[in-house]
Structure 1
């Protein structure tokens, strides 16, 4: 178990997507810098950090990440070719970047501070229908697509899983990742759902 009080030095993988604690992240790795990162994570059983890109692109020059991200641990992997990996990673802990630098091979490194997970909070009565909505979605999509055990009575878990499903911009999802109060996160999810009902995506 990583100590939130101790700064952690990890490689970063800036993406145009947001990873939440307990969330699933499928990846196809082919750039040399990320092949080296994957080799190291598998060898050392260590984590890497996933951050939403604030400026730049997923490939090429190192992108500028948002300050808050989520550590990822490789759970499943295949190597279909010598210079290719197919990974399934799982989100673990939110963190905030304290310092960052780029290695000679182009891999972005960072010193991060792990953020304490919120205390368990039951889903407030005002948002109980969101837990029911998520439960229906899990039934329709299938249990295998969601982390186990299911925590439909936990406000943060419900907010994160619903946000993963919503067809909103990564920047909107980042707002939920950065939210410290699970009840406030659920209120933000409620607002996004209301906006989607008013202006459904094409």
Structure 2
């Protein structure tokens, strides 16, 4: 986690939110984004002049196209990489800081949405887990399910990296990178602990590998 955020009190009470279905940010994870809509360019301008915090959140049924209803839980990230293209787009990387419960939306004049958020239920996100907290056996079922999922979909990864990665980093990177649907991404986000996220991820991999059509071969970065 960022040294700037060691406790809940270090985080802002109101943050801009970026509704984006299928995009999952987890604490400690890195999410690259290509920003081109004017309202979100405005949001980045404001964020970069302030605390550089943006809340990634998915939508849920309800509301309208311009202001859809928002999921109850999102994840705040800090802009840790920023570049501007010649055609005016922003290429950024958000590094996940802490999940939050969505609160009241503020009636603001900004073109982007802002809301009060509560980080308290996810204070543990600010504490790094001790290394070696899980054994290799903990990850065996996940790796078996992952191999079947990848074979079924015609996907490929670097197995050397996957098998040598710390289990929590592997779990979070797979949760963010694999092409799950928005409801499945939300379930992974809301898993209370890394152990619960591993169980959810393993179940999703096993269910997917059990049926459906293969995708075209590709690779996962």
TM over 0.5: yes
> In 2, Cα distance between the equivalents of 1:163 and 1:187?
11
Query: 2:182 maps to what in 1?
Result: 170
| CA distance in structure 2 between the aligned counterparts of 1:151 and 1:52, rounded to whole angstroms | 31
Of Structure 1 and Structure 2, the greater strand share is in 1
1:46 counterpart = 2:52: yes
Q: TM-score, normalized by length of structure 1?
A: 0.77
Q: Which of 197, 203, 207 does residue 195 from structure 1 map onto?
A: 207
2:40 is equivalent to residue 28 of structure 1: no
The total of aligned residue pairs comes to 194
2-side partners of 1:60 and 1:103: how far apart?
A: 18
SS at match of 1:111: strand
Shift of 1:180: 0.7
Does residue 116 of the first structure (1) align with residue 113 of the second (2)? no
Matches within 5 A, 1:69-88: 69-81=74-86, 83-88=88-93
Tell me the TM-score normalised to structure 2 length: 0.72
Report the Cα offset of residue 86 of structure 1.
1.9
Tell me the alpha carbon deviations over residues 122-180 of structure 1, each in whole angstroms, 9 at most, x when there is no partner. 2573433536888xx7635x97xx9xxx994444x332222223332121121111111
Question: CA, structure 1 residues 73+151, in 2 after alignment: closer, same or farther (shift >3 Å)?
Answer: farther
Alpha-carbon contact 2:139-2:167 (below 8 Å) kept: no
RMSD over aligned Cα atoms: 3.4
**Runs of 5+ in structure 2 lacking a partner?**
147-155, 215-221
Using the alignment, how far apart are the partners of 2:202 and 2:24 within structure 1? 19
Moved more, 117-126 or 44-53: 117-126
